[in-house]
Every structure is written in C-alpha cells, then in structure tokens.
Amino acid sequence: MIVNKANIEAIFISLKTSFNKAFEGAPSFWPDVAMKVPSSTKQNDYPWFDRFPKMRKWVGDKHLKSLKAYKYTIVNDDFEATVEVDRNDIEDDTLGMYGPMAQEAGFSSKQLPDEIVVDLIKGSFENECFDGQYFCDVDHEVTNENGDVSSVSNKLTAALSCATLALAEASLGAAMTAMESFTDNEGRPLGLIGDTLVVGPRNRATATVLKNNDKLEDGKPNPYKDTIKKIVVLPWLGTSTAWFWLCTTRPVKPFVYQERKAPVFVSQTNMEADDVFMRRKYKFGAEARGAGGYGFWQLCVGSTGAG
C-alpha cells in the first residue's frame, strides 16, 4: 500500500470504527451498583452530611437541625491504552492484527468504570469514606435525637453460606438485619432494604442457592429465596471470600463513578511527526479521565468472609 495522507486517514477511520463497535458491545456492571457523577475540573468535593435527608411531620415552625458536614474529595486520574502501528505494516498491507487490537482497546475502555468500581469494592475494608472511617467498618458514629453517640457496624466476617439455616442467618441474614436496622441521627429507621449481592467466583454457587432454591443444603426452607433481586459476580475478586450486600434502589448509590472525560479513541497520524520520521511509528488508542469514591456507608454491608 502507498503510504499517503488519504490511505493513513482511511486506515485509522477503520480502526476507530472497530474501537467504537467493541465499546458499544462490551458488557458493563457498574451502573448496577454505582452512580455516575459528572466532573468539570480536576476534582470534585462532596459535602456529605451526617444523615439522609428525611421528611418529618410539620407541626408549628419548621424543625431546623444543624447537620455535621464532611468534606470528601475525589481527584480525577488519567487513563490510557496506546498501540503503535509500524509504517512497514502499512506498506506491506499487514494490518490485520491491528483491528482486533482496536477492538480490545474499545472493550477495555467500556470496562474502565467497572475496574474503578471493583477497586472500590475490594478496598471497602481499608479505604476511608466520607466520615473518615473505612467504608465497611465496625465503628461508624451515629448520633441519636438526644445527642448520644454510638458506634454502628456495617462490617461482618462471616463466610457466605447456604449449608444450614443457622449459617445462612449468620451471614446473609445478619447483613440484611444490620442494614434494615440503620437509623438516622434522630433515631428513625432509614428504611433501607438491600437488593443486590456482590460476590466473587468462589461464592457464585452459594449466592445462586440463596437466591433461587426452595431449600438450603440441610433441607430447611430457604427464607432468602427471592429476597435477592440481583447477583453480581466479579471475576476480579478471584478466590476472595469477601461478599457485599447492597441497597441500590435509592438515588444515591453505594459507590461513585466520577467521569471527567469519557473514554475516547485518539490517534497520531501526522506523517511529519517525530515518531514517524525517527521510528516509523503511528499511534492509536484510548484516553479517559475519571475516578471513584464512596457514597453512604449505610447502603452496604460487607463481609470479609474470613469466618
């Protein structure tokens, strides 16, 4: 093939088309558990408050209560995936390998938010959320209507189990009870009902039994059948025993995907560029900017599964 401007442009238009088709067709789970927050600068500040907004009966003057605000900042990161195209491959018409590489770049770009959210989930026991505690921790502070402070836990250690009724109650049952017991800073129940169970491949079968089977392995009726609306299996968790019970039905989700710049196809096709002159290399790939963070800890109960 003759290396000229028209041919170079045609090649990279084709690569961009392959990228976009793969991007559109790639699966993605993050919208199930995270909310997308647009970003227009290098970072976003989230002034999370110490309780959910909640209606109360209006008698007399409106009830004014000073809320404790927490400054929580998520700083955007840069992401890229770049492939070099050798000019000799263009001259020799050996470009077949670059199409799949463009498709893989598109696939990977679509799953970038997934990877960001997975890192948040995996780090739930060691990354801080808005109140300065680990997202899944044993001592989140909650103040009641009398000003008394108590520690509330959204962290378990029980292994997810469907072996017996007792073990199922000590794992999934305990997570459900904990979430449904969370209150605001006036002692009123938040009314949170979990709906999504997040597991790794190791817990796939157990999660499926708890969601679908009439009976547990010990023959006892399964009280959790149909209470799990969705199972999310994350290959990235590998052999981890950790599992998470989430409430994803509220406007605020447990996790935040902050998007500064959505993944886009980029290319360097200038025939006069230094890399072309010195090294015979054109380039294409993807660029994005974004980050992840945590929403309200009350929307998640996580277990290390360590027993």
pLDDT value at position 3?
67
Among residues 101, 73, 43, the alpha carbon closest in space to that of 289 is found at 43
Q: Which residues pair with 13 in a beta bridge?
A: none
pLDDT value at position 122?
96
CA torsion 276→279→281→287, rounded to 10°?
A: -100
Could you give the CA distance from residue 283 to residue 275 in angstroms, rounded to a whole number?
Answer: 9
pLDDT value at position 56?
62
pLDDT value at position 188?
83
pTM (predicted TM-score): 0.87
Q: Which residues pair with 230 in a beta bridge?
A: 196
pLDDT digits over 10-44, tens only?
A: 888 998 999 999 999 999 999 999 999 999 999 99
Among residues 254, 191, 214, the alpha carbon closest in space to that of 30 is found at 254
Query: Coil, strand, or helix at residue 209?
Result: helix
Give me the residues of the chain with pLDDT under 70, please.
1-3, 48-69, 94
Q: Contacts for 38-42 with beta carbons within 8 Å, 24 or more apart?
A: 38/259, 39/76, 39/258, 39/259, 39/260, 39/289, 39/290, 39/291, 40/260, 41/260, 42/75, 42/76, 42/260
pLDDT digits over 199-225, tens only?
A: 999 999 999 999 999 999 999 999 999
Query: Domain locations in the chain?
Result: 5-51+72-303
Percent of the chain residues topping a pLDDT of 70: 91
Q: How far apart are the first and last CA of the chain?
A: 64
The CATH number of 5-51+72-303, from 3.90.1690, 3.90.320, 3.30.200, 3.40.50, is 3.90.1690
> What contacts 252, CB < 8 A, 6 or more positions away?
35, 295, 296, 299
